[in-house]
Amino acid sequence: MSTVRPAAVAGMFYPGSPATLRQSVRDLLDSATGGPVSRGSWPKALIVPHAGYIYSGPVAARAYARLSPGRNTIRRVVLLGPVHRVPVRGLALPGAGAFVTPLGSIQVDLEAVASIRHMPQVCESAAAHALEHSLEVQLPFLQGVLDDFAIVPLAVGDASAEEVAEVIERLWGGSETLIVVSSDLSHYHEYGAARRIDLDTTAQIAALSHTLDHEQACGATPINGFSLCAQRRGLTPDLIALCNSGDTAGDKSRVVGYASFAFDESRPEHSDA
């Protein structure tokens, strides 16, 4: 894989200038108040929104700030987001060896890709990735909070929760592997209605429901698959932030909802026995 997937939405969803983008990410992370961070632990997985940074950047940053203790440990990020432009059956790999943002190049983990390539629900579609923003907008945040890491980028189309879960399980790894699911919540409702819908949706996510629909979250398919894994592995969800575009940079007549979650692995209690 020698091809590179260039930045497609730089200058639209986030700043296109490297210096401006670097400062924007730094400012968002510095202002994040995601709660206390344990010095020796970090989440196994995040759910984060994928709108333009002026809309959902503060919500995403509060989740990404939780990763700071893992800066030197996390080496692989399994990144799942919905397709918005090109429909696919299953989960699509990009057929590229690297993704580029204004902050530099990020290698695709080819060994991890090889481990899932022959699963029946996994395909390859450069077209599905070419203009897809749901994955790309996460990359500058990851570049801001992690050091040396590679990605497994999966554009998720028509797939069952179990099919998605099987792929995530194959890539689960240990402390070196982070899972990031990209999704916004409800779209284009009036502010009050959106708040009610999104409160219900986040309660379902916190309960590890795997039956969300795409009216509740555009990334319902990857969320549902991840929730199955979280159930089976006993992950603990934490709702970090919830708002909508009416709270950030939009009017309140037609809003988009945003939430961020962190999921922690259960750790055995210390015993001297």
Both tokens of residue 208? 């590890």
Q: Using an 8 Å Cβ cutoff, are 32 and 62 in contact?
A: yes
| Span 46-58, pLDDT tens digits | 999 999 999 999 9
Give me the sign of the Cα torsion angle 10, 11, 17, 23: negative
User: Which pLDDT score is estimated for 250?
Assistant: 84
Residue 269 has pLDDT above 50, yes or no: no
Distance CA 228, CA 221 (A): 11
Q: Convert the pLDDT of each residue in 208-226 to its tens digit.
A: 999 999 999 999 999 999 9
Q: Which helix (H) or strand (E) segment is 222 a member of? A: helix 220-233
Element (H, E) at 82: strand 76-82
- Are the C-beta atoms of 106 and 139 separated by less than 8 Å? yes
Pairwise CA distance, residues 79 & 226, whole Å: 11
Q: How far apart are CA 64 and CA 80, in angstroms?
A: 15
The mean of the pLDDT values for the chain is: 94
pLDDT value at position 272? Answer: 41
What's the rounded Cα separation, in Å, for the pair 245 and 147?
A: 31
Output the pTM of the full model.
0.95
Tell me what pLDDT residue 266 has: 73
What DSSP letter does each residue of 152-205 carry, written as one string? EEEEE-B--HHHHHHHHHHT--STTEEEEEE----EEE-HHHHHHHHHHHHHHH
Whole-number pLDDT of residue 192: 97
Which CA distances in Å does 21 have to 3, 26, 69, 106?
24, 8, 23, 16
Rg of the chain (C-alpha set): 17
Residues 97-135 have pLDDT tens digits of 999 999 999 999 999 999 999 999 999 999 999 999 999
Which domains does the chain carry? 4-264 (3.40.830.10)
